[in-house]
Amino acid sequence: MVNKLSNEVVKDKNQLLKDVLLRESQTTTGIGKGIAIPHAKSDSVIKTSIVFAKSNQGIEYEAIDDKPVNLLFLLAVEKEGSNQHLALLSKLSKLLMNENFKQDLLNTKTPQEVLDVISKYENPNLAVNSNPQEKTKPAQEVSIVAVTACPTGIAHTYMAQEALEKAAKKLNVKIKIETNGASGVENKLTQDDIQNATGVILAVNRNVEVDRFNGIILGGMMAIDMGGPFNKAAYVFAIASLSQGASSSMAAVMVGGMVPPLAIALATTLFKNKFTLEQREAGSTVGVIALREIAEGAIDIQNFKAKLPIVFGNEDASSIHNNTSEVSSQGSIIENETNKLLVIEEADGFVNKIKSYDCLNHDDILKTLEFAIKAHKGQKRNSGQDYITHPVSVASIVLDYFKDTSSIIAALLHDVVEDTHYSLDDISNSFGGEVAILVEGVTKLSKIKFRDSAQAKAENLRKFILSISKDIRILIIKLADRLHNLRTIKYLSNKEKQKEIALETLEIYVPLAERIEAKEKYEYSKLEMFDDEIFVFTPKGKVISLPKGSIVLDFAYAIHTDIGDTCKGAKINGFNIDHVATLRNARGENYPNIIRAAKEAINAGADHITAHLREDRRHIKDKDIYDLKSYLTVPLNMELAPTQEMVDIACKVKPYAMQKKNKFYKHLNFP
């Protein structure tokens, strides 16, 4: 074919042949499907020319598909000159992707027929479509960006472009292709193109600008199966890139591959209590082999964690390191991914803690954790961490107090109703009525409009105190919530708000916490710890604590002695909780008969009980004394279950005491 060129085109045919063979030694120009485009830029070329040859039988050419070549195009290109030939070459490369064009060329018998075929397909309106009836479908949301380049930037660059465009059309996806041809970069990809792309295709066999592409995929592939097929595929790609002078891919792969073993080595060293002795010993070994970039040693320890529903994200960590080595400007991406790892580590620690208690329903708690992560997705704390770290921390604190599945589930969900679109009905339907009651107890009022924040705070506090009188677990969850908020209070930018929260904690939550400490002698199963007390609010919002079974007069005396002496009744109205207002004698006069009857009844009962118990003190426990007094002095309390010994004592002392008490109740119109 070189010899067919005239002396007007080539001044030194031997030099041109050497240049063509030199190009061929770099990589074959047999592009497959029976086509070869040998070419070269040479000083021996006077005028850029194309020589066409065909063979119906085909010739051996060492093409990329190892099949014979039927169509050959020799391109002799001027070393220095215009780039007009590149436009022609681009068109020719694209035409060769058309099966009809190739077949028509094979059928030609004269040079003129060859020119006629080229002219025919050069006009898009005359080109034969392989399927003219096919209608173009709307492109899918999938978007691909691609780069094509070959060593000379002449043939393969544009043929790869045409092949990708045809494939994208067939698959009905969007594609934008940047060509790195001899004339320079055309249709250059922007940063927006890359960021919005679903995937990237690099059809190149020479060095191109790859630093603009995020390296997440390569690093993740190195870590995802630790020595498996994904790992090996990424490594092979990096080696191929390195051979073309692109070292950044190899840097990303090396860093990504070291993350799994290094992460495990650090975890087993820094968090020893979360791993078994066997795992800690294996972690040390893994750390040593990590320095040689061998990820396979991490497989055994990874399998330990694979039993849990939430696994530490080594592949995410590799992607982060990949970002660091590939795109230094992507600081926000690294920060977000690091935060993701902190969330996973927090959840992992919580899961390990849960697993250590056989008394808990692990499946229900883990199901709730997944629900909470989904519900709080996208929400952030003032610290910048994902919001889910807060309910996980609260649940972990609750676990230290109650080994109770419902309490832990409610702690994980305690902010769901307030901060997400889920309602209490959703909680009840998914997790049961018991959990819904606990969540409601720690949820602030949202449907009622208040005059100001002070009123809202007061009403929410009233609701909370009433709730904990029914179930002490609500108090535990609220205290855990407050404790974690205090631990992270430094992230509040408003210093006054910090002081307000601290003061509220000292005045309200610390006394409540002390109350729990005083009740620790009670059995764990007695969850309703405040059943021996009731709480009543005055019209001004003051909380009055009274023994269970107290009457209105007890409430009046608790406010003030003068109020009790002049009390003649009470008003009880429903709001969120009961408000009680006492009614007094207009002239402020006492009711001596009532007072006298009450004192006689109380004194008589107390004297007889004390006298009898003094005789049998050695045979009765302190708790029995307390229950017996309650049984004798609170006649309407039907919840007590006295022992036989208590009944015997009551039979001796109760008649006289009740005789006096009945006189007292008669004055108050009790039946």
Is 161 within the bounds of a domain?
yes
The length of the chain, given as a count of residues: 671
Picking from 93, 122, 151, the residue at the C-terminal end of a domain is 122
Q: Please, which residues bridge with residue 535 across strands?
A: 545
Q: What is the mean pLDDT of the chain?
A: 69
Is 462 within the bounds of a domain?
yes
Between CA 245 and CA 239 the distance in angstroms is 10
Domain containing residue 248: CATH number: 3.40.50.2300
101 shares its domain with 224: no
Q: How high is the pLDDT of residue 380?
A: 86
447 shares its domain with 580: no
Domain containing residue 87: CATH number: 3.40.930.10
What is the pLDDT averaged over residues 464-493?
81
597 shares its domain with 586: no
Q: If pLDDT is split at 50, 70 and 90, which confidence band does 193 have?
A: confident
Q: How high is the pLDDT of residue 665?
A: 43
Between CA 278 and CA 92 the distance in angstroms is 66
Is 155 within the bounds of a domain?
yes
pLDDT in tens, 321-340: 444 333 333 333 333 433 44
Q: Which DSSP state fits 209? A: -
Which helix (DSSP H) or strand (DSSP E) does residue 247 occupy?
A: none
Between CA 618 and CA 623 the distance in angstroms is 13
444 shares its domain with 550: no
Picking from 552, 573, 590, the residue at the C-terminal end of a domain is 590
557 shares its domain with 498: no
375 shares its domain with 509: yes
User: Looking at the whole model, is its pTM more than 0.95?
Assistant: no
pLDDT of 233 strictly over 60? yes
What is the pLDDT averaged over residues 290-307?
53
| Phi, psi dihedral angles at 423 (to 5 degrees) | -110, 175
Domain containing residue 586: CATH number: 3.10.20.30
584 shares its domain with 597: no
Q: If pLDDT is split at 50, 70 and 90, which confidence band does 670 have?
A: very low
61 shares its domain with 114: yes
Is 514 within the bounds of a domain?
yes
pLDDT of 585 strictly over 70? no
Q: How high is the pLDDT of residue 422?
A: 87
Which helix (DSSP H) or strand (DSSP E) does residue 304 occupy?
A: helix 299-306
Is 234 within the bounds of a domain?
yes
Between CA 392 and CA 353 the distance in angstroms is 11
Q: If pLDDT is split at 50, 70 and 90, which confidence band does 412 have?
A: very high
pLDDT of 464 strictly over 50? yes
Domain containing residue 503: CATH number: 1.10.3210.10
What is the pLDDT averaged over residues 235-263?
71
Say what percent of the chain tops pLDDT 70. 58
Q: Which residues constitute the domain of residue 630?
A: 593-671
Burial class (CB in 10 A: 0-12, 13-18, 19+), 602: middle
Picking from 575, 590, 605, the residue at the C-terminal end of a domain is 590
The 3-class secondary structure across 83-138, one letter per residue, is: CHHHHHHHHHHHHCCCHHHHHHHHCCCCHHHHHHHHHHHHCCCCCCCCCCCCCCCC
What is the pLDDT averaged over residues 380-401?
86
Structural domains of the chain, count: 5
Is 61 within the bounds of a domain?
yes
Instruction: Evaluate whether 365 touches 409 at the Cβ level (below 8 Å).
Output: yes
Is 6 within the bounds of a domain?
no
The 3-class secondary structure across 535-591, one letter per residue, is: EEECCCCCEEEEECCCCHHHHHHHHCHHHHHHEEEEEEEECCCEEEEEEECCCCCCC
212 shares its domain with 312: yes
Strands 49-59 and 39-42 come out as unpaired
Instruction: Evaluate whether 206 touches 171 at the Cβ level (below 8 Å).
Output: no
227 shares its domain with 250: yes
Q: How high is the pLDDT of residue 413?
A: 92
Q: How high is the pLDDT of residue 661?
A: 45
Is 394 within the bounds of a domain?
yes
Distances (CA, A) of 376 to 288, 415, 447, 477, 489: 39, 9, 21, 18, 20
Where is pLDDT greater, at 137 or 250?
Answer: 250
Between CA 49 and CA 74 the distance in angstroms is 8
pLDDT of 523 strictly over 80? no
Name the H helices within 226-298: 229-243, 248-270, 277-290
pLDDT in tens, 34-74: 888 888 888 888 888 888 888 888 888 877 777 888 888 88
584 shares its domain with 600: no
Between CA 162 and CA 100 the distance in angstroms is 15
285 shares its domain with 171: yes
Distances (CA, A) of 344 to 216, 218, 252, 311: 18, 22, 23, 7
Between CA 653 and CA 609 the distance in angstroms is 6
